[in-house]
Amino acid sequence: MIRSLLTQLKNKYFLFSLFAFIWMLFFDRHDLMFQLRLQKRIQQLEQDKLHYQAEIKKLNNERLMLVKNNEALEKFAREQYWMKQPNEDLYIIIND
């Protein structure tokens, strides 16, 4: 067993392959740690994508509701943009 291991270590193709493997694993610009960081970043971006797709869907539904329903549009304008009728007074209460 030891003899076969020594013959493997003397084989120049094995040595070169071992050297290349170690180089790629630790010293290359795109080493193992870089690949792991990239994979983590990809997962985060995919989660963000799902979140934003759900948000877009929610906002599109809200927009459709506002286009179809004038009462909902008026309520939205009053709550979000503090709009009022010409004969009304608007009081803004800020809670601290």
pLDDT tens sequence across 12-50: 888 888 888 888 887 878 888 888 999 999 999 999 999
d(CA 74, CA 87): 15
Q: Taking a C-beta distance cutoff of 8 angstroms, is the pair 66, 76 a contact?
A: yes
For residue 32, give the H/E element and its range.
helix 32-68
56-93: per-residue pLDDT in tens? 999 999 999 999 999 888 888 888 887 777 887 877 78
CA-angle at 43, arms to 37 and 49, nearest 5°: 135
- The domain limits of the chain are 1-29, 31-96
What's the Cα-to-Cα distance from 7 to each of 21, 52, 72, rounded to whole Å?
19, 58, 82
pTM above 0.75, yes or no: no
